[in-house]
Amino acid sequence: MSEPGGGLGGGRDWAHTLAERLFAQRVVLLSGPLDDLTVARVSAELMTLDAEGDEPVSLRLDSGDGSLALALTLMDVIELMGVPVRALCLGQVAGPAVGVVAVCHHRAAMPSTRVALREPASQMEAHVRDVAQWAELRADERRRFCARLADATGQPVDRVTDDLSAGLFMSAPEAVDYGLLDEVSRPEAEIRRLPGPPIGFRPLR
């Protein structure tokens, strides 16, 4: 049995309400693989916030796979924004999503974030005469992706290309050293003991 207000419909309503509240705070979520629907939604939200105000936009990511072509599209949107886009990486950032993070104006990650510079899984079902054209298109996407990633990180294109082929896994501090991130986010608040006697409850007598 499902609890009142629960179930699939309740979950969708909760997620929609959360997305609306975050959007009002100029926060865009990118979760899951970079597919057509996700990239279309994220692009639309970014462009809407760009048109509605001059404050920076926060892009929060947890993405592990997707399409290089779609990543390049989203990278175009971010680079054409009239306001800064600040990325905050949560969980993992892998494959094409690495390029999306790299082109943001400021790039941070939680301490537990893992970054994987690797090629996305891809497959194609087509007539043999179309395979060569598909392979050429994929190679061009890969070249453009590596060139833009190299430009964003300050790494040589050859190194980025080799690392993408081999699959380079990095911790958040290692991604900072590589040039993919600007910082690892840390709690800013320091917990201090209040002056005076400790606060508590006295037992009843």
Q: What is the pLDDT of residues 45-81, one digit of tens each?
A: 999 999 999 999 999 999 988 999 999 999 999 999 9
pLDDT digits (tens, 9 = 90+) for 5-17: 455 455 567 666 7
Q: Which fold has domain 8-184?
A: 2-enoyl-CoA Hydratase; Chain A, domain 1 (3.90.226)
Q: What is the CA radius of gyration of the chain?
A: 21
Neighbours of 106 (CB within 10 A): 14
- pTM exceeds 0.75, yes or no: yes
- Residue 91's Cβ-count burial label (10 Å; 0-12, 13-18, 19+) is middle
Among 54-58, 120-124, 194-198, the minimum mean pLDDT is found in 194-198
Nearest Cα to Cα of residue 116 among 143, 98, 142, 103:
98
| pLDDT given at position 177 | 97
| pLDDT given at position 161 | 96
Residue count (the chain): 205
Residue 167 pairs in a beta bridge with: none
pLDDT higher than 70, residue 107: yes
